[in-house]
Amino acid sequence: MPNNCATVRPSDLVQPYFALAGRKRKEKIPNMPGIYRMSADLIAHDIKTLFASGVDKILLFGIARFKDPSGFEAIDAQGAIQHTILQLRSLFGKKITIITDVCLCGFTDHGHCGILKGEKIDTEKTLAVLGAIAISHARAGADFVAPSAMTRGQVKAVRAALDRAGFHETGIWAYAVKYASSFYGPFREALGSAPKFGDRRAYQMNPADTVWAVRSALQDQKDGANVLMVKPAIPYLDVLYQLKQRTKLPVAAYQVSGEYAMLKTAAAVGAFNEKKAVLETLGAVKRAGAGLIVTYYAGQAAEWLA
Ligand code: PBG
């Protein structure tokens, strides 16, 4: 009998990390037990355990030291994320796949994902800055950049910027479908990136919609994306499934911070067996069509699978 079951393997999983500047720094994140902001040296140490469990892909976020209206530090070659990429690449060579988040919300003092004109995103300026951030990550050694600002045209602009700078080999891991979701709460505490006014509904997708979401993901494909990601995961399995039917590109899903918090909290009060429940959710995400799953449980799940 052919095995048609959607079995999750460690090589499907991607572990997110939050990079801090400096050395020997490790900070807890509220509502995300077991997940820390860490400096490059401690991230590198943690990755050795990750490798041992069979996970070799990471998604990196940078934590800003200073914030200003333009998010200037995001393009700093000496920034926490750029420094961490360099370190990991020199320590682990091609053994590790490094995906980097390209956005401004963690670097701007207003917490929005782009440069503002009044209270609105200035699309042209934002696209230029996203291109510059992507180049700084590529130069440090990122395998994929993942533009997550949800500025219209971001994939095309980032691809063009990378190509102009000669980084033809750097791929684009597109946040192709990113809903304006409640489930990003703990992440925003990790980055201190909650918007200071308004919300992200002007640039993130409406949870009630699927048609525009799938169409816009396919536009990212035309614009040069190499991976199409849907986020969050569990609340949007229908979207994941629909997208999978309509593309030949690898499809990824992001089990986000709020999904992690929900599982952790319920497990902590004894509502269910954590291992079984988590593996069940990851199996569901794979069954719906994601061959790649970004999850804060990556390392732990891989150990459970062994
Ligand atoms: C940056 C970004 C966010 C997440 C990933 N990239 C936050 C947001 O859009 O507000 C959320 C990830 C998570 O919740 O785990 N824009």
Q: What is the arithmetic mean of pLDDT over 53-81? A: 97
Closest C-alpha among 51, 22, 18 to residue 37: 18
Closest C-alpha among 284, 304, 293 to residue 256: 293
Burial of 271 (0-12, 13-18, 19+ CB in 10 A): exposed
pLDDT at 1 over 80: no
- Any ligand 1 atom below 6 A from CB of 61: no
Q: Give the Å distance between the CA of 258 and the centre of ligand 1.
A: 10
Nearest CA to ligand 1 atom 10: 184
Q: Give the Å distance between the CA of 103 and the centre of ligand 1.
A: 9
- Ligand 1 atom closest to the Cα of residue 106 is 1
Closest C-alpha among 192, 183, 149 to residue 37: 192
For residue 144, the cross-strand partners are 99, 171
Helix 298-305 to helix 40-53 angle, to the nearest 10 degrees?
A: 20
User: With contact defined as beta carbons under 8 Å apart, do 100 and 80 qualify?
Assistant: no
Q: Give the Å distance between the CA of 122 and the centre of ligand 1.
A: 20
- Scanning 192-295, the segments in alpha helix (DSSP H) are 211-222, 237-245, 257-268, 274-288
Catalytic residues, by residue number, are 178, 231
- Any ligand 1 atom below 6 A from CB of 150: no
Nearest CA to ligand 1 atom 8: 184
Nearest CA to ligand 1 atom 11: 184
pLDDT at 82 over 60: yes
Which residues have C-beta within 8 Å of that of residue 4, sequence separation ≥ 6?
none
Testing ligand 1's pocket by substitution, the residue of 35, 182, 187 carrying the most ligand atoms inside 8 A of its CB is 187
- Any ligand 1 atom below 6 A from CB of 103: yes
pLDDT at 205 over 60: yes
Q: How many angstroms separate the CA atoms of 123 and 226, rounded?
A: 23
Nearest CA to ligand 1 atom 14: 184
Mind listing the pLDDT tens digit for each residue in 256-304? 999 999 999 999 999 999 999 999 999 999 999 999 999 999 999 999 9
Closest C-alpha among 17, 71, 72 to residue 39: 17
Q: Give the Å distance between the CA of 107 and the centre of ligand 1.
A: 13
Mind listing the pLDDT tens digit for each residue in 131-157? 999 999 999 999 999 999 999 999 999
Q: Kindly indicate the confidence band of residue 6, based on its pLDDT and cuts at 50, 70 and 90.
A: confident
Q: What is the arithmetic mean of pLDDT over 191-199? A: 93
Q: How many angstroms separate the CA atoms of 14 and 9, rounded?
A: 11
Q: What share of the chain is helix, strand, coil (3-state, %, to 5)?
A: 45, 20, 35
- Scanning the chain, the segments in alpha helix (DSSP H) are 40-53, 80-92, 123-140, 154-164, 185-191, 211-222, 237-245, 257-268, 274-288, 298-305
pLDDT at 4 over 90: no
Q: What is the mean pLDDT of the chain?
A: 96
* pTM given for the model: 0.97
Q: How many CB atoms lie within 10 A of CB 50?
A: 22
For residue 20, the cross-strand partners are 39
Q: Give the Å distance between the CA of 106 and the centre of ligand 1.
A: 9
Q: Kindly indicate the confidence band of residue 28, based on its pLDDT and cuts at 50, 70 and 90.
A: very high
- Terminal Cα distance for the chain, rounded: 24
Q: Give the Å distance between the CA of 19 and the centre of ligand 1.
A: 15
- Any ligand 1 atom below 6 A from CB of 184: yes
CB-side exposure of 198: number of CA atoms within 13 Å? 14
Element (H, E) at 36: strand 36-39
Testing ligand 1's pocket by substitution, the residue of 14, 35, 103, 264 carrying the most ligand atoms inside 8 A of its CB is 103
Mind listing the pLDDT tens digit for each residue in 223-246? 999 999 999 999 999 999 999 999
